[in-house]
Structure 1
Amino acid sequence: MRWALWCALSAMLLTQSATAATYQAKGPIERRYAVEGPWATTTSVSGGPCDREGHVCDIWYPSDLGSNPLKGQADGFRHPVIVFANGTADSVAADKNAYFLRHLASWGFIVIRSRDGGTGQGDTVRDTAHYLLGLSRDPQSVFFDKVDAAKIGLAGHSQGAATATLLFSRNDPLFKTYVPIETPLRAVCVVANCTIDLGALPQVTRGSIFYIGGDLDVVSSLPTNLGYYTPTSNAVDKAMGVIAFGGHTEIEGNPGCKAGELPGLCNIGVYPLLGYPTAWFMWKLQDASDGPAAFAADGELAQATPGWLGVLSNIRRP
């Protein structure tokens, strides 16, 4: 089933042409977070299964857990968490999306993802979060007493982005904020069991969400993301932006695209996904004060053309 879905997506992507593009961070807030953060990082793999389907988890985290160089804090800091939900795959390699995920860890987050390539309704995604919370209570774990259980965010790509939006639409109490990247058309999610109930989005009362699409991504274009953003409740902070010349797999850049990438898949690389997603999580999970200036309706992201298109927001400056 997953292979059939990928073949269908590939056929759609091959029907369009793409222009190679370069990307430069434009505003000072984006430039701040597009560079590597002040924490050195470590990567590890769980010692056993971390979800109900028996997958292992990859974890990227600050090497000096408990410290916060941004605040001059040597010890006692509890790190917020970002759970990542993968796109559709029969198997997920240990290094898939690693540049993006390690970048987040360099800004003080503990980043964890199960190697599940069919996140669907989100059961394994929630399992992943609970697995890390279990480690935070284990005196034998490096994460013991180092996790802020009240500050867990969820990012996802493709099917994983739909899973993230689905959990957001259900007012899931586990996650505080969401960044779905390249959320696919609802028709695609019928196959992948990740269809989002548009009628639930106006009823959301908790969390916040930053929708990201790609200008050249036929499964997550401006109209598709607008179709999710528009009905999303104004009771929560919401923003949307589409990467100019962005294809479906920019997030897999390391940091640039692989040679011979298919048109519409990776045109720019991970560069446009380093600054603003990090800024969003820093705002929502580490209380960074520059969040409204970045994401307000008249903020920096809204002025980030030509790199970003179709920016919308209900966020206001204080």
Structure 2
Amino acid sequence: MRWSLIGALSAMLLAQPVTAATYQPNGPIERRYAADGPWATTTIVSNGACDREGNVCDIWYPSNLGANPLKRMADGFRHPVIVFANGTADTVPADKNAYFLRHLASWGFIVIRSRDGSTGQGDTVADAAKYLLGLSRDPQSVFYGKVDADNIGLAGHSQGAATATLLFSRNDTLFKTYVPIETPLRVVCVVANCTIDLGALPQVTRGSIFYVGGDADVISSLPTNLGYYTPTSDAVDKVMGMIALGGHTEIEGSPDCAPGGIPGSCNIGVYPLLGYPTAWFMWKLQGAADGPAAFGADGELAHASPEWLGVLSNVRPR
């Protein structure tokens, strides 16, 4: 079934024109967060399974845990967490999306993802978060006492983006904010068991969400993202933005698109995903003061054309 889904998606992507593109961050907020943060990073693999399906987890984290150069703290800082939900795959290699995930860690986050390629209803995603929380309570772990359990965010790509939106729609109490990247058509999720109940989105009362799509991505087009953004409750902060010329797999760039991929699937590389998603997590999980200036209805992202299109926001001035 999974290979049938991949084949169908590949056929859709092959129908798209191949367009090479370059990307430059627009405003000062995006430029700040598109650059690497002040933390050096380390990457490890879990000792054994981290989820109910027996997958291992990859973890990217600040090498000097407990320090915060932004606050001039040498110790005592508890790091927020970002869990990542993968897109559909039979196997998830260790280096998949690694450039993007390491970038987040350079801004002080502990980033963890299970190598599950079928995140569906989100069980293995929650397992990964709970695995890290368990390490934070283990005196023998490098993460002991270093995790901010009250500030956990969830990012996801493709099927993983649908998983993130699904958990958001359920008012999940584990995650505080969400960044779904290239959330697919609902028909895709009928196959992948990640269907989002649109009727639940107006009932959301907690969290916040930043929908990211690509205007060259037929799987996560402007109408598809509008279909999720529009019914989402105004009781929470919600933002939507479409990457101009963005294909479905820009997030896999390292940082450029890999040669020989599906034509039209990656046109730019990971560059447009470094700045604003990082800024969102910095605002929502680390309390960065520039969040409203970046994401307000008249904020920097709203004026980021031609690189970003279709921007919508209900974020009010703070």
Tell me which interval the TM-score lies in, with the shorter structure as reference length.
Answer: over 0.9
Residue in structure 2 matched with residue 10 of structure 1 by the alignment: 10
1:274-304 CA distance string (max 9 Å, x none): 0000000000000000000000000000000
TM-score (norm 1): 0.99
Segment of structure 1 superposing worse, 197-206 or 252-261: 252-261
1:229-274 CA distance string (max 9 Å, x none): 0000000000000000000000000000011322221000000000
| Residue 94 (str. 1) matches residue 132 (str. 2) | no
Task: Report if the CA contact (8 A) 1:215-1:245 is conserved.
Answer: yes
1:7-31 CA distance string (max 9 Å, x none): 0000011112132110000100000
The alpha carbon displacement at 1:2 in A equals 1.2
1:178-222 CA distance string (max 9 Å, x none): 000000000000000000000000000000000000011000011
Residue in structure 2 matched with residue 267 of structure 1 by the alignment: 267
Residue in structure 2 matched with residue 256 of structure 1 by the alignment: 256
- The amino acid across from 1:258 in the alignment is A
CA distance in 2, matches of 1:283, 1:97: 22
CA distance in 2, matches of 1:15, 1:207: 37
Residue in structure 1 matched with residue 85 of structure 2 by the alignment: 85
- The amino acid across from 1:32 in the alignment is R
CA distance in 2, matches of 1:278, 1:265: 23
- The amino acid across from 2:270 in the alignment is V
Residue in structure 1 matched with residue 117 of structure 2 by the alignment: 117
| Residue 187 (str. 1) matches residue 184 (str. 2) | no
Q: Secondary structure at the match of 2:71?
A: coil
Residue in structure 2 matched with residue 103 of structure 1 by the alignment: 103
Residue in structure 1 matched with residue 165 of structure 2 by the alignment: 165
CA distance in 1, matches of 2:189, 2:210: 19
Counterparts of 1:224-239 in structure 2, within 5 Å, are 224-239=224-239
1:36-91 CA distance string (max 9 Å, x none): 00000000000010000000000000000000000000000000000000000000
- The amino acid across from 1:249 in the alignment is T
CA distance in 2, matches of 1:266, 1:200: 32
The alpha carbon displacement at 1:142 in A equals 0.1
- The amino acid across from 1:95 in the alignment is D
Structure 1 unaligned segments of length 5 or more: list them. none
- The amino acid across from 1:244 in the alignment is A
Residue in structure 1 matched with residue 281 of structure 2 by the alignment: 281
Counterparts of 1:127-146 in structure 2, within 5 Å, are 127-146=127-146
CA distance in 1, matches of 2:141, 2:37: 24
Residue in structure 1 matched with residue 68 of structure 2 by the alignment: 68
CA distance in 1, matches of 2:69, 2:104: 15
- The amino acid across from 1:293 in the alignment is A
CA distance in 1, matches of 2:42, 2:175: 24
Q: Secondary structure at the match of 1:161?
A: helix
Counterparts of 1:192-211 in structure 2, within 5 Å, are 192-211=192-211
Task: Report if the CA contact (8 A) 1:18-1:245 is conserved.
Answer: no
CA distance in 1, matches of 2:104, 2:258: 22
Q: Secondary structure at the match of 1:153?
A: strand
Give the count of matched residue pairs.
318
Task: Report if the CA contact (8 A) 1:51-1:128 is conserved.
Answer: yes
CA distance in 2, matches of 1:139, 1:260: 46
Indicate the percent of aligned positions where both proteins have the same amino acid. 83
CA distance in 1, matches of 2:262, 2:80: 36
Task: Report if the CA contact (8 A) 1:160-1:180 is conserved.
Answer: yes
CA distance in 1, matches of 2:157, 2:163: 9
CA distance in 1, matches of 2:18, 2:299: 29
Structure 2 unaligned segments of length 5 or more: list them. none
1:127-163 CA distance string (max 9 Å, x none): 0000000000000000000000000000000000000
